[in-house]
């Protein structure tokens, strides 16, 4: 794209369709999701169907730190990936597709560091698996 008004309109339309599509998808996917409930410690089930956790009643479950950090990590990484999609579309439409490899390679370190937000949740799940 070289700066004329038609190119700008195409750029705005492509980014609008991409972003509106993601927002509509998220609206339907997350319609019945309770973030508060997702962050609660889940009681392990037993063969008798009774779920008990030491010091925690089923009526008042505790908030799980590993679930909260995993949830925050997931939201941060999803937002960053969504933003990266906008950058990729923008660069392709302005004629800088050749620079995309540099951009994508440079965000790899960020994604690796962001994955560490999921470490407490992963450790907790492994601990529960070996009980």
pLDDT at 23 over 80: yes
Mean pLDDT over residues 62-66, rounded? 78
What pLDDT is attached to residue 92?
87
What pLDDT is attached to residue 13?
92
User: Could you tell me which of 22, 30, 28, 38 has the C-alpha nearest to residue 81?
Assistant: 22
Per-domain residue ranges of the chain: 5-129
**Using the 8-state DSSP alphabet, how is residue 31 labeled?**
T
pLDDT at 45 over 60: no
Higher pLDDT residue, 44 or 68?
A: 68
**Using the 8-state DSSP alphabet, how is residue 44 labeled?**
P
What pLDDT is attached to residue 18?
93
Q: Are 41 and 61 in contact (CB under 8 A)?
A: yes
Mean pLDDT over residues 14-18, rounded? 93
Residue showing tokens 């490899």: 101
Mean pLDDT over residues 18-33, rounded? 90
What pLDDT is attached to residue 47?
46
pLDDT at 51 over 50: no
What pLDDT is attached to residue 24?
94
């Amino acid at each position: 794209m070289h700066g004329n008004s038609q190119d700008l309109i195409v750029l705005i339309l492509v980014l609008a369709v991409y972003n509106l599509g993601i927002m509509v998808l998220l609206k339907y996917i997350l319609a019945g999701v309770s973030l508060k409930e997702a962050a609660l410690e889940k009681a392990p089930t037993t063969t008798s169907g009774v779920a008990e956790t030491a010091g925690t009643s089923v009526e008042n479950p505790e908030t799980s730190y590993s679930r909260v950090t995993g949830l925050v990590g997931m939201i941060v990484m999803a937002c960053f990936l969504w933003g990266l999609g906008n950058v990729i579309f923008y660069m392709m439409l302005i004629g800088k597709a050749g620079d995309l490899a540099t951009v994508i390679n440079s965000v790899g370190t960020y994604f690796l560091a962001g994955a560490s937000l999921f470490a407490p949740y992963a450790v907790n799940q492994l601990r529960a698996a070996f009980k």
